[in-house]
Amino acid sequence: MSAAVTVYVPGDASACSLGADRVARALEAEAGKRGRVVHIVRNGSRGMFWLEPLVEVVTPAGRVAYGPVAAGDVAKLLDAGLLEGGAHALRLGDIAAHPWLASQQRLTGSRLGIVDPTSLVDYVAHGGYVGLRNALAMQPVDIVRAITDSGLRGRGGAAFPTGIKWQTVHDQKAGQKYITCNADEGDSGTFADRMLMEGDPFSLIEGMTIAGIAVGATQGYIYLRIEYPHAARALARALQVARAMGHLGPDVLGSGKRFDIAVRLGAGAYICGEETSMLESLEGRRGEVRVRPPLPAIKGLFGQPTVVNNVVTLASVPVVLARGPQFYKDFGAGKSRGTIPLQLAGNVKQGGLVERAFGLTVKQLVYGYGGGSASGRPVRAVQIGGPLGAYLPESQFDTPLEYEALAARDGLLGHGGVVVFDDHVNMARMARYALEFCAVESCGKCTPCRIGSTRGVELMDRIIAGRADTVRNGAQTADLALLEELCDTMFNGSLCGLGGLTPYPVRSALKHFREDFQRVN
Residues in the site for another protein, rule: CB under 8 A? 13-14, 16-18, 49-50, 52, 185-191, 193-194, 226-230, 264-270, 281-288, 302, 343-348, 351-352, 374, 383, 387, 417, 419-422, 425, 430, 433, 437, 440-441, 443
- Closest approach, Cβ 291 to another protein, in A, equals 18
- Closest approach, Cβ 327 to another protein, in A, equals 29
- What stretch of H or E contains 41? strand 38-41
Determine the Cα–Cα distance for residues 453 and 459; give it in Å rounded to an integer. Answer: 10
Determine the Cα–Cα distance for residues 278 and 182; give it in Å rounded to an integer. Answer: 8
- What stretch of H or E contains 478? helix 475-493
- Closest approach, Cβ 347 to another protein, in A, equals 4
- Closest approach, Cβ 45 to another protein, in A, equals 10
With CA atoms as reference, report the closest residue to 343 among 385, 282, 375. Answer: 385
With CA atoms as reference, report the closest residue to 39 among 21, 62, 57, 15. Answer: 57
Q: What is the dihedral of CA 16, 128, 316, 68, to 10 degrees?
A: -20
> Cα dist. 128→107, 147, 324, 387 in Å?
12, 18, 14, 34
Of 122 and 193, CB closest to another protein: 193
- DSSP class of 303: G
Determine the Cα–Cα distance for residues 247 and 139; give it in Å rounded to an integer. Answer: 19
- Closest approach, Cβ 440 to another protein, in A, equals 7
Determine the Cα–Cα distance for residues 119 and 337; give it in Å rounded to an integer. Answer: 31
- Chain centroid to CA 462: 35
Of 250 and 268, CB closest to another protein: 268
- Closest approach, Cβ 188 to another protein, in A, equals 3
- Closest approach, Cβ 181 to another protein, in A, equals 16
Of 204 and 210, CB closest to another protein: 204
Listing DSSP states for 484-518 in one string gives: HHHHHHHHHH-SSHHHHHTHHHHHHHHHH-GGGGS
Count CB neighbours of 233 within 10 A: 15
- Closest approach, Cβ 79 to another protein, in A, equals 27
With CA atoms as reference, report the closest residue to 106 among 195, 213, 31, 226. Answer: 195
- Closest approach, Cβ 171 to another protein, in A, equals 24
- The three state secondary structure string of 392-452 is EEHHHCCCECCHHHHHHCCCCCCCCEEEEEECCCCHHHHHHHHHHHHHHHCCCCCHHHHHH
Determine the Cα–Cα distance for residues 277 and 225; give it in Å rounded to an integer. Answer: 13
